């Protein structure tokens, strides 16, 4: 959590925003930008979930995130393949950021937050509600629209739109 700032007695608040980000959406980017204003350092931790078959590799997802957050100096992009709690210990962090799109997300997110706190009792989870214009948006929806060559221009950053065109062919409409 609190990393001591070099040469001072101040502590930096380090938060981790975990997810698969397959692909990163404008909704994710909204949460990242808002969380970057709240915490001294935000680590966007891209999960390599071996039980899922992602469209983009871990490295591709991390590179897309680096591109769309390049203007945020306190945001670090990293990947992990472990329990979030173990990863957070490696990062010396105890603050988790999670986005909530709708009430339906809350029950699942509450289970995760409670489990994380049970595993490590000094873990705090901060829920950020989605900006209303992104409350419906998910990576799954984006992939479904892109797969059938629908327009994703308002759903993802331009870098991601281009990457989706590369995965699904040039038929994705701008």
Structural domains in the chain, CATH included, are 2-135 (3.40.50.620)
Strand pairing partners for 77? 44
CA dihedral of residues 153, 159, 164, 165 (deg, nearest 10): 80
pTM: 0.89
Residues (pLDDT < 50) of the chain are 1-3, 7, 174
pLDDT digits (tens, 9 = 90+) for 83-105: 999 999 999 998 999 999 888 78
Give catalytic status of residue 4 as yes or no.
Answer: no
CB of 28 closer than 8 Å to CB of 40: no
11 is in an annotated binding site: no
Give catalytic status of residue 28 as yes or no.
Answer: yes
Give catalytic status of residue 114 as yes or no.
Answer: no
51 is in an annotated binding site: no
pLDDT digits (tens, 9 = 90+) for 134-152: 999 999 999 999 999 999 9
CA distance to 2, 17, 67, 74, 81, per residue, from 34 (Å): 19, 12, 17, 12, 26
């Amino acid at each position: 959590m609190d990393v001591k700032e070099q040469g001072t007695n101040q502590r930096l608040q380090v938060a981790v925003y975990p997810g698969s980000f397959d692909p990163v959406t404008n909704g994710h980017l909204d949460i990242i930008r808002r969380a970057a204003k709240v915490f001294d350092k935000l680590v966007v931790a891209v999960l390599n979930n071996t039980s899922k078959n992602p469209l983009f590799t871990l490295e591709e997802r991390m590179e897309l995130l680096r591109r769309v957050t390049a203007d945020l100096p306190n945001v670090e992009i990293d990947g992990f393949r472990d329990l979030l709690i173990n990863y957070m210990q490696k990062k010396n962090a105890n603050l988790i950021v999670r986005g909530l799109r709708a009430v339906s997300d809350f029950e699942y997110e509450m289970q995760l937050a409670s489990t994380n706190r049970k595993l490590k009792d000094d873990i705090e989870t901060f829920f950020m509600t989605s900006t209303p214009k992104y409350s419906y948006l998910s990576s799954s929806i984006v992939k479904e629209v892109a797969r059938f060559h629908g327009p994703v221009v308002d759903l993802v950053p331009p870098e991601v739109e281009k990457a989706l065109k590369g995965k699904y062919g040039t038929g994705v409409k701008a």
